[in-house]
Copies of this chain bind each other. A is one copy, B any other.
Amino acid sequence: MQLFAEDGYNAVSTSKVARMAGVSEGLVFRHFKSKEGLLNAVMEMGKKRIIALFAKVSEKDEPKAVLRRIIEIPFNIGQDEYHFWRLIYMVKWQTNDYIDSLFEPINEMLIKAFRELDYSDPQSEAEAIKMMIDGIATNLLLRRTENPQNLLKSIFEKYDL
């Protein structure tokens, strides 16, 4: 995961993977059939972690709290999930599989929250939040932003949270 996330799928050779894992190159193919199989396995592994992450959000019921939690998600990317997030966004641009499925539960929570807050177009609002998350993630993952906390505050204000 680390290698794929840092260098991109194409730039990582299977020999590098094997070396880093401390096994023979042959073994990689025995287990994962092909390089792509390895990628799939890695993605699957990480998906579970992300889903667990999203699960925590749904516990809260109060709509504003839900929004807050969701918007905070990309700001709280820890060292552990860092590689996986980077991988996801990296892969998005290389394969054409936009990993929507991952964000589907989030999507529904957003719509529900906006509806409860009487927004006129909950669907579009949800869309806007997801885009914002993409934008935030893009920027944070590429290490550009200096003080994300101010940014978070300014977003919260926009939604009166």
Count copies of this chain in the complex.
Answer: 4
| Among candidates B11, B96, B100, B127, residue contacting A94 with C-beta atoms closer than 8 Å | B11
Residue of A90, A121, A134, A153 with most chain B CB atoms under a 10 A cut-off:
A134
**Is A10 at the interface (CB under 8 A from chain B)?**
yes
A93 surroundings in chain B (CB, below 8 A): 8, 89-90, 93, 142
Sort chain A's interface into a size bin: 35 or more
Flag whether A98 is at the interface (Cβ < 8 A).
yes
Across the two chains, which residue of chain B brings its CB closest to A89? Answer: B93
Most buried by B among A100, A132, A154: A154
With contacts A93-B8, A94-B11 known, is A136 near B125, CB below 8 A?
no
**A128 lies within 8 A of B155 (CB):** yes
User: B150 touching A123 by the CB < 8 A rule?
Assistant: yes
Q: Return chain B residues, CB-CB under 8 Å to A161.
A: none
Q: Is the CB of B158 within 8 A of A121?
A: no
